[in-house]
Every structure is written in structure tokens, then in C-alpha cells.
Chain A
């Protein structure tokens, strides 16, 4: 499975320039999808507002660049810190609620950030702002080169994936999964579930902020449309399509969805109709997603699929 992820990296060396940018976006979205899978597939927290963190990361980059800061590490750290802070604030309020309320509230907060972005006329407002240059890595590596940016993004992805995997397997991860399965039991066992969930939410938000920073770098453009709720929906689709609660699935889902959108748009101008129908069908009949289907012999996570 890991090989599947390495292949695009190699083929990029020979690929046309366009595809490098495309795959950079795929990788960035894969990071975002993995961050969502962390809290959704393992923690049972359906965050319908994850695109907000993409926006925070992207705007952090944009604002820093506007004010003359060019170091990639600074960009990354600030993007992640800002997203973590926003996630902390949103999570603190949202995690007090459950189920339907939680979904709606995360959606509402991401809309709020979207409108905030639209009204920030100093930084482009509705039209967004284009960025003068990409980050540079301590002046050594300039990400103006598409390839360099791709490897950076891919490296980030590998690191984040590794972190996520360990997080899920750790004691912390077990508590989160236990909370998804039966919160009352966890509380009875003495775990402060709210705090665990909030921490997971913040980590997830920070990772997603990094993804946003990468996206903005790739496009050389920052716009509030990154925070639109349809974007949050896309992230959810990626996680579902690939297979919830598997982490690999999220990455696969990102690849599949982006390729699907590309392919369909060649078939017809009205591709959203097909995508929408595919979505409804997948939810109805193939809920375990692609990765879940691929690994059917090995039971994935008992508490990850259909509701009890």
C-alpha cells in the first residue's frame, strides 16, 4: 500500500509541469483528509467545518508573505499554530455538543470564518489575494520550483501520516477510539473525554492548517473560497470515499476524488451531477470506501463502519 503512495512521486520527475502542481494539491488535500480522518474515523467527531483550517493556514501564509516574511518553516509553524488556536476555540464550544448539533456548529463556525475572510478587504476580501512568491526554506531551497514544493509537501505528508499513525496506536488514540465507541464507558473509567477530544481536535486542526499553507503555496493564491463549506464537504467525501478510520483511506480518497473530478470534467461540463450521484450511491452501497473494500479480508476497525 505504501508503494502506491510513492509511485506518483517518482513519475513526477518525468511528468509534465502541470501534473506536478496537480499532485502537490493531491498531497496537500491528503494531509487535510488524514487530519479529518483522525477525528472522524477514529474519534467519531463529524467536523463539517474543517475547510476553515485550510483557510487559516493559507491566510497565515498570505499575511506573512505580505509583510515580508519568507521563511518556509516560519510559515509552517505560524500556519499550524494559528489553526491550532482556531481549532481550540471552535472545539471548546462545539465539543460541548453532540451529534447533529456538533455537525451544524462546526459548519456554522467555518462559515463564520469564510465571511470573515470575505470581509477582510485588506487581504483581498472576496477576490482573494495573489502571493508574490512561495516560501523559501531558510534561503537554501526556493519553492518557486514546482518540484521542490512537491517534495516538501510529500515530505510533510509522510511526517504527518507517521505522526497520525502513532497517535492512533498510542494510549491517547485508544482513548479517542473508545470515546467514539462508548463515551459513557470512558467517562466511567475515569477519562476526561472532553479534554482528550479537544486535544485531538486541535491536533487535527493544526495539521489541516499545514495543508492549507501548502495549497496556498502551490496556487500562489489565497482566497476565502478555500473555506467554503462545499470544501469541507469535499474533505468529508475524500475520507468516506477512501475509507473512514484507516488513515490510508483518507490519502487514497484525496487521490481518487481529485482524479475523479478531473476525469469527469473532461467527459462533460456538468460533471457535478455525476459526482453527486456517485456520492449518493457510494454512501448507500459502499460505505466502507475504497480502502475498506481493498482490505476486506482483514477486518479494519470494529467501531468504524455502520452505526450500531
Chain B
């Protein structure tokens, strides 16, 4: 039981990280109809820069700030230089171009920091454990991830639902042509949305760095998970991204933790030993397939024309 609670917390933490990745992705996809595979690269850049700066200066605040600024700059840079010509193109072109960008970014990381993983330290003030659930010491850092992620989710909610910018974003996700016709500066809006997404992704990378291996290509795994999340949640919907992210994170973590004992009840322990890791890694994709069977556009698709 206690293990289940602990795993639920872990699942929540994963879900929050996924949300940070997915929110930016779903906004860009929803508003700009643009598939951006390089989103994972921004995640990676955030993690790398933060880890490197923290190792060099021992100031986490500094590392955080520099990483976010660098990621934002890179994000806006590629938006202006490359994405502007891609918005009108079909999805295949976007996929291939951003795939090319991934190749470039992964290699650039290798050039700057080498192929071996970088050490990302947990900042001192977030180290240690506390007993959130009596009897289980839980890492404060993970709680910090959950906390900051939820704060960002609330901020994002306020932005999207209660501000004019948010309204423009939602309108853009619903009907881009219409808001252009209504005189909204689409170029600026796109840059803002993309910048926002980049900052969220970089933040996710920064937070995840101590938990994952900081190496070239580290963004790809979270990226694909984020895609699964937004497909389940509905492309263009931040609410969908949150619900789906938390659920996927929880489901995946619980699945990996408890599938083997569960299967062990049904079959011999040797068979369960072999089958459980395989099935556990497939769980969220099966979940996605099931959701799609009933809701081909996800759980909370924004209403379109």
C-alpha cells in the first residue's frame, strides 16, 4: 500500500514533466499546425546548459536563468530562421526539416560537451528526503518537480483562459485563418507561442536533468512520450495535455511497478519475469490506441470550424 502511494507520487512527478513538454508541443501544434520534432532538442539544451553552468558556478539560480535564456534564444532563433518558411508547408516537410534540426543539435551538443554524459547535480537546497507519507522518505527534489510543475500548470491555465493572449492562442488553435482575417499579428503571436513552449520544454529539461542521463539525444524519449500525451489529450488543448500527462505518467509508473506481481498471479513467475517488462513498456501505447479507438481526436480536442 505504501509502495503504491510512493509510486503514485513518482507517477505524478513523471506526469508533471510530461505536461511541461506536452503543453508547449500541443500549443505549437494546435495554433501553428506545426509539427516540431526539435522540441526535444530544446529540452536537451535546457538540461545541458543548466548542468554545465551549475557545475561551473555552483549557483543554481544562475544555472536556471542562463539555461532558460539560452533555450529561449535558440527557440526563437530557429523559429525566425527556419519555421517561418515551414508554416505553410505540409506536415511531411515539417517533420523532415525538424528531423534535420535534431541531427544538427545532437551533434552540436557532442561537439561542445563530448559524447559522454554530463553530470547534473541536484541543487543543495533541494537535496535530502522528507516523509510526506509516514514511513516513506521521499526525495525533496521530486516533490519540488511536482510543485513547480503544478504552479506552472496553474499559471498556464490563467494565461490561456483569463488573458487576451490566451484567448488569441485558443482562437488560433480553433481557427487560424479567422484570427488572421480579424487583424491579429500572426507572426508575433506565433513567435510568442513558440517561445512559451520552448521555455516550458527547457524547464522540463532542467528539472529532469538530475534524474536522467544528460547526453546527446536525451530529448527524443520525452518528446515521443509527449506526443503520445497530446494525442491522448487532444492536440491544441492544454487542459487535455495536463489530464493526459498526469494520467500517462501515473499509469506508466504504476504499470512498471506492479505489472510483474500482477502477472505473477495469473501465470508462472518465470513467465511473468519475461513478459512484464515487455508489456510494461508497451502499456501507454496500448492506452493511446484504446483512446483513439473511441476518440480519434483525443479526449479534449478544441472545437474547430
A→B interface (CB under 8 Å) = 40, 46, 48, 93, 96-97, 99-101, 103-105, 107-109, 111-112, 115-116, 118-122, 229-230, 233, 236-237, 240, 270-273, 275-280, 283-284, 287, 306-307
Contact = CB atoms under 8 A, between A and B. Distances in A.
Contacts of A40: 92
Given A97-B296, A276-B100, A108 B285 contact: yes
B61 to A, nearest CB: 32
A101 B95 contact: no
Interface residues of B, number: 45
B110 A279 contact: no
A48 B292 contact: no
B296 A276 contact: no
Contacts of A307: 89-90
Contacts of A108: 224, 227-228, 231, 285, 288
Contacts of B85: 284
B96 A236 contact: yes
B148 interface: no
B292 A119 contact: no
A104 B227 contact: yes
Contacts of B110: 270
Contacts of A121: 274, 277
B175 interface: no
Contact of B224 (A107, A273, A287): A107
Given A46-B95, A272-B107, A101 B297 contact: yes
A270 B115 CA distance: 11
B106 A272 contact: yes
Contacts of A101: 231, 235, 292, 296-297
Interface of B: 29, 33, 35, 82, 85, 89-93, 95-97, 99-104, 106-108, 110-111, 220, 224, 227-228, 230-231, 235, 274, 277-278, 280-282, 285-286, 288-289, 292-293, 296-297
Q: Which are the 10 A-B pairs with shortest beta-carbon distances?
A: A279-B100, A276-B103, A276-B104, A115-B281, A112-B285, A307-B90, A276-B100, A272-B107, A119-B277, A280-B100
A115 B296 CA distance: 24
A277 B81 CA distance: 13
Given A111-B285, A112-B282, A272-B107, A240 B35 contact: no
Contact of A116 (B100, B230, B281, B293): B281
Given A111-B224, A122-B274, A283-B100, A103 B292 contact: no
Contacts of A93: 289, 292-293
From DSSP, what is the main secondary structure of chain A's interface residues?
helix
B100 A119 contact: no
Nearest to B37: A233
Contacts of B35: 100, 103-104
A230 B106 CA distance: 12
Given A97-B297, A119-B277, A119-B281, 10 more contacts: A46-B91, A101-B297, A104-B228, A108-B231, A229-B224, A233-B96, A236-B99, A270-B110, A273-B104, A279-B96
A99 B95 contact: no
Chain B CB within 10 A, most for which of A93, A103, A105, A283: A283
> Which of B92, B106, B107, B297 counts the most A-chain CB atoms under 10 A from its CB?
B92
Contacts of B282: 112, 115-116
Given A96-B296, A276-B100, A48 B95 contact: yes
